[in-house]
């Protein structure tokens, strides 16, 4: 029997969905029928407008909307984001927000003694606190819903979040100290968000909410284009498959983790690293 994934009638939110791994996830979710809300921050609005036109042309049956996110480090930004998604005319009639992919993140290659307080706070703000705030505010919103002939708060009951699923995009850097780049703060932020994801998955599992983590190794995105080639060669040498992942390879894993094919998996951290952590 062929395995199929169908997210028709559901909204998927992807933070950092305007480029790189996030954009690949957006496209793969749309291919599976999801209506899409994605955030962007550093990409100019004119480029986002062009991207939206392209996505809507490629997926004419899907509803797709983009939302700006500042630095992604405060709960107020996610409260505003979730309200904007609910009120967006571009997503009217598109279904419920059922899928969340917390993908937005940033790196910092800098000797730790040279990190400022702002450097550390910025890395943890987006990479760690961002997913924490997003999950909290999304679930608070779901817990506050009525509907289906039920009173407000019914989703707090056992199984009340059945069908809601989220994936946090972490990094193999949360498991090992990547090198030769110096990125202690980044590594720590990813280790923290991986631990958070596992803990929270257990806390909300009785309601039926599934939450997992994916930890990619080195991925061939546009950010790699400006990296010293000697570093790139060393990264590939240390990766048993002797290459980088494509964004699409990571995205396919995320789609399956969100699907009804993985309904008994929660609190897991899936390494998609080409074997980097084997040795």
pLDDT tens figures, 192-231 = 999 999 999 999 999 999 999 999 999 999 878 778 888 8
Buried b (16+ CB within 10 A) or exposed e, 26-40: bbbbbbbbbbbbbbb
What are the chain's domains?
A: 10-272 (3.40.50.720)
Other residues' Cβ atoms within 10 Å of the Cβ of residue 170: 29
Calpha distance 138→204 (Å, rounded):
12
Known catalytic residues?
Answer: 186
> What interhelical angle do 117-124 and 184-204 show, nearest 10?
30
Q: Rg of the chain's alpha carbons, rounded to an integer? A: 18
**What average pLDDT does range 61-70 have in this prediction?**
97
- Whose tokens are 């707090």? That residue is 156
**pLDDT score for 154:** 83
Here the tokens at position 80 are 């505003």
Is the CB of residue 256 less than 8 Å from the CB of residue 4?
Answer: no
Instruction: Specify the pTM.
Output: 0.96
41 CB contacts (<8 Å, ≥6 apart)? 16, 68, 69, 70, 71, 72, 104
223 CB contacts (<8 Å, ≥6 apart)? 20, 107
**pLDDT score for 227:** 84
**pLDDT score for 128:** 98
**pLDDT score for 1:** 60
- Whose tokens are 């598109």? That residue is 94
**What average pLDDT does range 137-148 have in this prediction?**
85
Angle at 12 between CA 136 and CA 219, to 5 degrees: 95
**pLDDT score for 180:** 86
Strand order in the sheet with 96-102: 64-68, 35-40, 10-14, 96-102, 165-169, 210-216, 269-272
Other residues' Cβ atoms within 10 Å of the Cβ of residue 278: 9
Calpha distance 117→1 (Å, rounded):
54
- Give the 3-state secondary structure of residue 148: coil
pLDDT band at 2 (very low <50, low <70, confident <90, very high): confident
Is the CB of residue 20 less than 8 Å from the CB of residue 240?
Answer: no
- Give the mean pLDDT of the chain: 94
Give tens-digit pLDDT for 86-138: 999 999 999 999 999 999 999 998 999 999 999 999 999 999 999 999 999 99
């Amino acid at each position: 029997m062929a395995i199929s994934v169908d997210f028709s009638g559901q909204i998927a939110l992807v933070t950092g969905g305007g480029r790189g791994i996030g954009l690949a996830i957006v496209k793969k979710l749309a291919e599976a029928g999801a209506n899409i809300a994605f955030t962007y921050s550093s990409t100019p609005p004119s480029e986002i407008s062009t991207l939206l036109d392209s996505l809507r042309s490629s997926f004419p049956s899907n509803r797709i909307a983009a939302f700006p996110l500042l630095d992604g480090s405060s709960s107020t930004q996610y409260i505003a984001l979730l309200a904007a998604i609910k009120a967006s005319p571009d997503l009217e009639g598109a279904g419920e927000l059922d899928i969340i992919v917390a993908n937005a993140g940033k790196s910092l290659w800098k000797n730790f003694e040279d990190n400022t307080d702002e450097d550390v706070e910025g890395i943890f703000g987006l990479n760690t606190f961002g997913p924490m705030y997003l999950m909290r505010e999304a679930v608070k919103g779901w817990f506050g819903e009525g509907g289906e002939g039920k009173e407000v708060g019914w989703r707090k009951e056992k199984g009340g979040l059945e069908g809601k699923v989220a994936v946090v995009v972490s990094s193999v850097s949360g498991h090992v100290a990547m090198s030769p780049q110096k990125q202690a703060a980044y590594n720590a932020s990813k280790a923290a968000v991986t631990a958070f994801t596992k803990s929270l998955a257990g806390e909300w599992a009785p309601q039926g909410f599934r939450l997992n983590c994916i930890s990619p190794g080195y991925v061939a995105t546009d950010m790699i284009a400006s990296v010293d080639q000697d570093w790139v060669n060393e990264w590939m040498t240390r990766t048993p498959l002797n290459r980088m992942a494509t964004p699409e390879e990571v995205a396919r894993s995320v789609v399956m983790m969100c699907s009804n094919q993985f309904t008994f998996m929660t609190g897991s951290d899936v390494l998609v690293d080409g074997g980097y952590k084997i040795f």
